[in-house]
A and B are shown apart, each in its own frame.
Chain A
Amino acid sequence: MREVKVVSNAATHKRGFGAVLWDYLTTVDHKKVAHLYLFGGGFFFLVGGLEAMLIRIQLVKPNSEFLSNGLYNEVLTMHGTTMIFLAAMPLIFALMNAIIPLQIGARDVAFPFINSLGFWLFLFGGLILNCSWFLGGAPDAGWTSYAPLSTTSPGHGVDFYVIGLQIAGAGTLIGGINFLVTIVNMRAPGMTYMRMPLFTWASFITSILILFAFPALTVGLFLLMFDRMFDSAFFDVSLGGNAVIWEHIFWIFGHPEVYILILPLFGLFSDLFSTFSKKRLFGYTAMVFATMLIAFLGFMVWAHHMFTVGLGPVANSIFAIATMAIAVPTGIKIFNWLATMWGGQITINSAMLWALGFIPTFTLGGMTGVMVASVVADYQYHDSYFVVAHFHYVIVGGTIFGIFAGLHYWWPKMFGKILHEGMGKLTFWTFLIGFHLTFFIQHFLGLMGMPRRYSTFAPNQGLDLGNLISTIGAFFMAFGVIVFVINVFYTAAKGEKAPDDPWDGRTLEWATASPPAHYNFKQVPLVRGLDPLWIEKTEGKGKMTPSEPLGEIHMPNPSILPFMMSFGLFVAGFGFIYQVDNKAWLAVVVIGMGITFGSMLIRSLKDDLGYHITKEELEREAD
Chain B
Amino acid sequence: MSHDHSLNPETMPNEPEKATLEGKNKFIGFWFFLGGETVLFACLFGTYLALRNSTAGGPAANELFGLGLVFIMTILLLTSSLTSVYAIYHMKNNDFGKMRLWFIITILLGFAFLGCEIYEFTHYIHEYGFTFTSSAFGSAFYTLVGFHGGHVLFGLCWMIALIIRNGKRGLNLYNAPKFYVVSLYWHFIDVVWVFIFTVVYLMGKVV
Contacts and interface: CB of A to CB of B under 8 A. Distances in A.
Contacts of B200: none
Contacts of B139: 226-227, 232-234, 241
A63 B37 CA distance: 49
Interface stretch (A216-224, A307-315, A525-533): A216-224
Contacts of A239: 54, 56, 134-136
A252 interface: yes
Given A222-B143, A223-B143, A233-B133, A216 B47 contact: no
B136 A240 contact: yes
A219 B137 contact: no
A215 B36 contact: yes
B125 to A, nearest CB: 15
B9 interface: no
B133 A245 contact: no
A548 interface: no
A249 B33 CA distance: 19
A22 interface: no
A28 to B, nearest CB: 14
Interface residues of B, number: 40
B32 A211 contact: yes
Contacts of B134: 233, 239
A180 interface: yes
A612 B1 contact: yes
A604 B51 CA distance: 39
Interface stretch (B21-29, B61-69, B99-107): B21-29
A552 interface: yes
Given A181-B29, A238-B56, A230 B47 contact: no
Contacts of B162: 604
Contact of A233 (B2, B3, B44, B135): B135
Contacts of B3: 609
B191 interface: no
Contacts of B28: 180-181, 184-185
B136 A233 contact: yes
A110 B50 CA distance: 39
Interface in B4-45: 4, 21, 24-25, 28-29, 32-33, 35-37, 39-40, 43-44
A211 B133 contact: no
B133 A230 contact: yes
A530 to B, nearest CB: 25
Given A185-B25, A234-B136, A239-B136, A216 B43 contact: yes
A1 to B, nearest CB: 5
A607 interface: yes
Contacts of A215: 36-37, 39-40, 43
Interface in A238-294: 238-242, 245, 248-249, 252
B197 to A, nearest CB: 21
Given A226-B139, A230-B133, A240 B54 contact: yes
A211 B36 contact: yes
Given A181-B29, A236-B136, A605-B165, A218 B40 contact: yes
B55 interface: yes
Interface in B106-144: 132-140, 143
B161 interface: yes
A177 B44 contact: no
A604 B165 contact: yes
A252 B43 contact: yes
A230 B131 CA distance: 12
Q: Which of A219, A220, A239, A242 has the most CB of B within 10 A?
A: A239
Contact of B47 (A177, A181, A234): A234
A605 B167 CA distance: 11
A324 interface: no
Contacts of A177: 29, 32-33, 36
A2 B2 contact: yes
B188 interface: no
Contacts, number: 126
A222 B40 CA distance: 11
A223 B51 CA distance: 13
Contact of B132 (A2, A181, A232): A232
Nearest to B43: A219
A230 B132 contact: yes
Contacts of A110: 25, 29
Nearest to A223: B47
A242 B54 contact: yes
Contacts of B86: none
B134 to A, nearest CB: 8
B185 interface: no
B201 interface: no
A255 to B, nearest CB: 14
A607 B3 CA distance: 11
A528 B79 CA distance: 51
A223 to B, nearest CB: 7
Nearest to A180: B32
A218 B136 CA distance: 19
A93 interface: no
B35 A241 contact: no
A214 interface: yes
A359 B96 CA distance: 60
Interface in B136-164: 136-140, 143, 161-162, 164
A173 B36 contact: yes
B40 to A, nearest CB: 4
B36 A212 contact: yes
A245 B52 CA distance: 13
A231 interface: yes
B36 A181 contact: no
B50 to A, nearest CB: 6
A21 to B, nearest CB: 29
A599 B35 CA distance: 26
Q: Which of B33, B47, B138 has the most CB of A within 10 A?
A: B47
A554 interface: yes
A215 B28 CA distance: 18
A241 B39 contact: no
A178 to B, nearest CB: 8
A240 B55 contact: yes
B200 to A, nearest CB: 16
A605 B44 contact: no
A1 B17 CA distance: 21
A245 B40 contact: no
Contacts of A186: 21, 25
A309 to B, nearest CB: 14
Given A242-B51, A249-B43, 6 more contacts: A110-B25, A212-B39, A232-B138, A242-B50, A245-B51, A552-B1
25 contacts: A111-B29, A173-B36, A177-B36, A178-B29, A184-B28, A185-B25, A214-B36, A215-B36, A215-B40, A216-B40, A218-B40, A219-B43, A219-B44, A222-B143, A223-B143, A227-B139, A230-B133, A231-B133, A240-B56, A241-B136, A241-B139, A245-B50, A249-B46, A601-B161, A605-B165
5 A-B pairs closest in CB distance:
A240-B54, A232-B139, A240-B136, A215-B40, A219-B43
